[in-house]
Amino acid sequence: MLDSYVVPLVVLSCCVLGGAVAVYHAITISAIPIAAPSDMNGQENAALVNSSSADDAEPADMYDRIKRISGFIAEGADAFLFAEYAYMAVFIVVFGAALFVVLGFGANWATAGFALLSFVVGSVTSIISGFIGMRIAVIANSRTAIMARYGYETSFNTAFKAGMVMGLGLVSLGCAVLFILVNAVAVYYDNWNVDPEQCHSMMEAISGFGLGGSSIALFGRVGGGIYTKAADVGADLSGKVCNDFPEDDPRNPAVVADNVGDNVGDIAGMGADLFGSLGEACCASMVVASVSGSTLFNHWEALMFPVVLLSLGLVVSWLTSFVATHLFVVSTDVEIEPALKRQLLVSTIIMTPVSLLAAMVFLPSTFTVSGVVDVKNYHVFFCVLCGLWAGLLIGYITEYYTSFAYSPVRELAKACEAGAAPNVIYGLALGYKSCIIPVTAMCVTVYVSYSLAGMYGIATAALGILSTMATGLTIDAYGPICDNAGGIAEMCHMPEQTRVRTDNLDAAGNTTAAIGKGFAIGSAALVSLALFGAFVSTSKLAAVDILRPFPFAGLLFGAMIPYWFSAMTMKSVGIAAFDMVKEVERQLDTTTESGRLIRAQKMDPDYAACIDISTKASLREMIAPGALVLLTPILTGFFLGTECLAGLLAGNLVSGVQVAISASNTGGAFDNGKKYIGGVLHRKGTDEYKAAVIGDTIGDPLKDTSGPAVNILIKLSAVTSLVLAPSMPSRGYLVQLFDKF
């Protein structure tokens, strides 16, 4: 047994370190002035600006334009998030009250009270995490564009360190809050270390933290995803298709809404998504570790192993960042993408011995858990190792299928020579094919982990893939920041060389964003399976036999849900994008085609109107998909019983992973295929490029709305079932009613 101070010392010191680094980088980036070098008065940050002058002439009003456009983006992001927060507040109150009542009558009022507390704390922490990411992104995008005047090193470091604020800040906050919450709840359950039932009740109540995190992620991923793709598709259709504007042309009123969407969807939404995974993976591990028959229930350091592992991952991610910013400095465009990919590899290599050390120190040498006797602590290390390296493999395979450096996307681009139809057909086939290796990697991980430590092994494998989450979030947030920087450079008429640099930074970020989505999907699959195991244990189901009628019916219905959910989100994007196109055409409408273009050049676009359309449409359209995700497991569990619900969760997971991977990779390939034709091959304006634009327009809601949102579906359904499991009947109330007749 370790001394009582060791676990809090390790967790809190790692979290303080990660938080301090995040705050330092946030202050440093915010201090970069939006001004010409001659106006800085010695305010340059030597770590970021190492050139005495920019490389070419600047327009006289360039910095005023930057302030104006970045101000529009910040105001639009704030407007959307605060409007979304109003919906979130109502949801937290209503759903929290229902959760308290259902658990109070179905289980006991103490569990209900602490589950409500955990739910609220998880929800609020998720909101704060998403806001932190969005705030640093809107601060960093204009600074990244300005630093691109001085070379690749300064601009890359600005965007990368802004991503670190997101990654380190979110994981530090999540681990610290969860650790404090567990210790606070343990004060009430004062016999947890001698009464396994009390320990299990405590951990069931704590699982509300994961439910809160994923509930907010539903708003961030679905609402933010609809927002960003409504704006993006609307901008593409109204600009490139209807009016032949270049990308990010300031004459197009929808371009600022598109840039706002990058922050609220790809930053705040992604942050809330992975925060939910963090909370759910930790809670699932704790619940499984405390089930009847486990010998871990009275080992505090073993119960806290998930939080310890993720906290140590913070230090690993921080050390890994020096590889990109100090050891292998980015000085040319060809060094950007390798620098970002190197982060994943180096963090995985360093995390491997750290995971072994954590397992050997914080877990008993031998224990029983999830029905497996004589589990060794190094067995758990192998489970973590499988998840850790499977995550790296999934990331690299995602890159292979979505980067134009490799043959799949280049073949997709070649298909555009025959028109839009072959492009769409090839892109869909590419997405389906890209499922093979990631799913195989997850199958191997599940088999090895379950063989070594049962469901606890799968839960710790999920922790493995999340242990370098700070690094994954860093390179994922980097992409939207550089995308916005490129948009600002274009809209503010920055010099050509600056725009070339921002385009190259954005091209690398687009690939790493696809890697981040693959990482999120892989972690969601393992987290969902871990939550499923915790649900089965809590529901006291001996086994789930899919040959029985209710589990099989649930399996079929659950497998259908991701398709229903994807259809709803994609239709919502289409509706909102149509509203956006109508607004742009209203602003540009004249009697003749040539007159339209003349007026578009002279007018002052009403950016606020397009931002308002995306905001209202996304908030309106996210209600139905959100209701589907939350109500399906609740109604199934209470009316048809836990056996049927177990089948539904299994069906959700099995089909949801395939839908998410194929949709995300299809969309990513379409996007990079367009960039390859327009950028590398310099064929903008050709029929080939227009075919690629159509494919990209189709792929946008796949990769940034329906694909990533399915992550939330499979996780939120599972964690909702877990939290409410103590109140759910084995045979549902509707079934019991039929039994009487």
* Residue 624 pLDDT exceeds 60: yes
Query: Are 269 and 224 contacting, i.e. CB atoms less than 8 angstroms apart?
Result: yes
According to the model, what pLDDT value does residue 590 have?
52
Mean pLDDT value of segment 225-234 = 82
257 near 234, Cβ under 8 Å?
yes
- In angstroms, the CA 726 to CA 539 distance is 7
Output 311 or 521, whichever has higher pLDDT. Answer: 311
Residue 522 pLDDT greater than 90, yes or no: no
**Least confident piece of the model among 98-107, 304-313, 374-383:** 98-107
Give residue 59's pLDDT band: very low, low, confident or very high (50, 70, 90).
Answer: low
pLDDT (0 to 100) of residue 60: 65
Q: What is the pLDDT of residue 460?
A: 94
Task: Work out the average pLDDT over 505-510.
Answer: 81
What mean pLDDT comes out for the span 680-685?
82
When mean pLDDT is compared across 230-234, 532-536, 701-705, the lowest value belongs to 230-234
Instruction: Output the pLDDT for position 178.
Output: 95
- Band (pLDDT 50/70/90 cuts) for residue 240 is low
Per-residue confidence (pLDDT) for residue 322, from 0 to 100: 96
Q: Which residues make beta-bridge pairs with 367?
A: 375
Q: Which long-range contacts (CB under 8 A, 24 or more apart) does 37-41 make?
A: 39/63
- Listed residue (275, 281, 280, 262) closest to 211, CA to CA: 280
Q: In this model, does residue 213 exceed pLDDT 80?
A: yes
Residue 598 has pLDDT above 60, yes or no: no
3-class state of residue 375 by DSSP: strand
Q: Is the pLDDT of residue 594 over 60?
A: no
Q: Is the pLDDT of residue 556 over 90?
A: yes
pLDDT digit string (tens) for 414-430?
999 999 999 999 999 99
Percent of the chain with pLDDT over 90: 46
Distance CA 736, CA 568 (A): 33
Of the candidates 525, 627, 524, 529, the one whose C-alpha atom is nearest the C-alpha of residue 569 is 627
**Contact predicate 183/363, CB 8 Å:** no
Residue 499 in this model has a pLDDT that exceeds 90: no
The owner of tokens 């950028």 is 679
**Above 80 in pLDDT, residue 597?**
no
What CA–CA distance (Å, rounded) separates 314 from 595?
Answer: 57
Report pLDDT digits (tens) over 12-24.
Answer: 999 999 999 999 9
pTM across the whole model: 0.91
Q: pLDDT tens-digit profile of 2-13?
A: 777 899 999 999
- Residue 54 reports pLDDT greater than 70: no
- 50: number of Cβ within 10 Å: 13
Exposure on the CB side of residue 264, measured as CA atoms within 13 A: 37
At 208 the pLDDT is: 93
Q: Is the pLDDT of residue 455 over 70?
A: yes
Looking at residue 602, its pLDDT comes to 45
The residue type found at 23 is: V
Mean pLDDT, the chain, whole residue set: 87
Give me the pLDDT at residue 247, please: 66
Q: Quick one: pLDDT band at residue 596, thresholds 50, 70, 90?
A: very low
pLDDT value at residue 269: 83
Q: CA distances (Å), 560 to each of 149, 604, 648, 649, 686, in order? A: 51, 47, 9, 11, 40
Give tens-digit pLDDT for 303-337.
999 999 999 999 999 999 999 999 999 999 889 98
| pLDDT(39) > 70 | no
Q: How far, in Å, CA of 245 to CA of 142, rounded?
A: 22
Quote the tokens at residue 331: 């000085």
Task: Give the integer Cα–Cα distance in Å for 514 and 707.
Answer: 11
**pLDDT tier for residue 49 given thresholds of 50, 70 and 90:** very low
Question: CA 712, CA 115: separation in Å to the nearest integer?
Answer: 20
Lowest mean pLDDT among 62-76, 500-514, 551-565, 622-636: 500-514
pLDDT given at position 242: 60
Distance CA 133, CA 558 (A): 33
What pLDDT score does 399 carry? 87
Q: Mean of the pLDDT values across residues 363-390?
A: 93
Q: How far apart are CA 399 and CA 405, in angstroms?
A: 9
* Secondary element (H or E) of residue 560: helix 549-588
Contacts (Cβ under 8 Å, ≥6 apart) of 34: 63, 66, 67, 70, 142, 143, 146
How far is Cα 285 from Cα 287, in angstroms, rounded to an integer? 6
Which backbone phi and psi does 12 adopt, to 5 degrees? -70, -35
Lookup result for tokens 């704590």: 206
